[in-house]
Amino acid sequence: MTTLVLREGGASDASTIAEIHTRSWQSAYRGLGILSDAFLDGAARANMQTKWHARMAAPVAGQRVWCADLDGQTIGFLCMLREDDTPWGALVDNLHLLPASRGHGVGKRLMGEAARWAAAQGITQLHLLVYEANTAAFGFYETLGGVPVSRDWLETADGGHAWVHTYHWPEAGLARLTALR
């Protein structure tokens, strides 16, 4: 029997989170023109290790990370940042799963957990950014009630640029997310 457990992430999870983030990017973005293959196969791993060790060792105010563990192995994570200075509410800054773990409801469970935490903090809205070329993610977020509200040309991690869509969950959408289990 397999057991999925969602738990708060901590500093000891930094290396695993970085590896999941890297493998997720490699799987989802390769060939889409978002990040170069050279970056995905080279600097991405070191960049993620540096980023996540720093973020988990000294979290910014309002940062919350959840890990999804399947039979004791971390297979995904979600990082949320409370952003009180935006009209879109808290930011789901990262949601990444190991490639083999996609399509099994883990991302949905993580989004539900984050929404329940946000609602308990008095946060009434959520948003996140999705690369335009990552059309598979569009379907996932729209199924969860996310609404695209803006399109921006942003710099990518490898110094390039790509179109990014902001997906928003207004108060009613957040309420629906809290029911996801």
Instruction: Say if domain 4-178 classifies as CATH 3.90.800.10.
Output: no
Interatomic CA distance for residues 68 and 6, integer angstroms = 5
Q: What is the CA radius of gyration of the chain?
A: 16
- Tens of pLDDT along the chain (181 residues) come to 588 999 999 999 999 999 999 999 999 999 999 999 999 999 999 999 999 999 999 999 999 999 999 999 999 999 999 987 888 999 999 999 998 888 888 999 999 999 999 999 999 999 999 999 999 999 999 999 999 999 999 999 999 999 999 999 988 777 788 887 7
Q: Which residues pair with 152 in a beta bridge?
A: 164
Q: Check residue 57 and give its pLDDT.
A: 97
* Biggest CA-to-CA distance, the chain: 45
User: pTM of the prediction?
Assistant: 0.94
Determine which helix (DSSP H) or strand (DSSP E) holds 79, and give its type and residue range.
strand 73-81
Instruction: Determine the residue type at 155.
Output: E
Instruction: Show me where the domains of the chain are located.
Output: 4-178
Residue with tokens 């999941």: 20
* Whole-number Cα distances in Å, 75 to 16, 47, 113, 127: 9, 20, 16, 23
Q: Check residue 87 and give its pLDDT.
A: 86
Task: Retrieve residue 101's tokens.
Answer: 């773990």
- The values of phi and psi at residue 145, to 5°, are 95, 5
Q: Check residue 1 and give its pLDDT.
A: 53
DSSP reduced 3-state for 131: strand
Task: Retrieve residue 103's tokens.
Answer: 């399509």
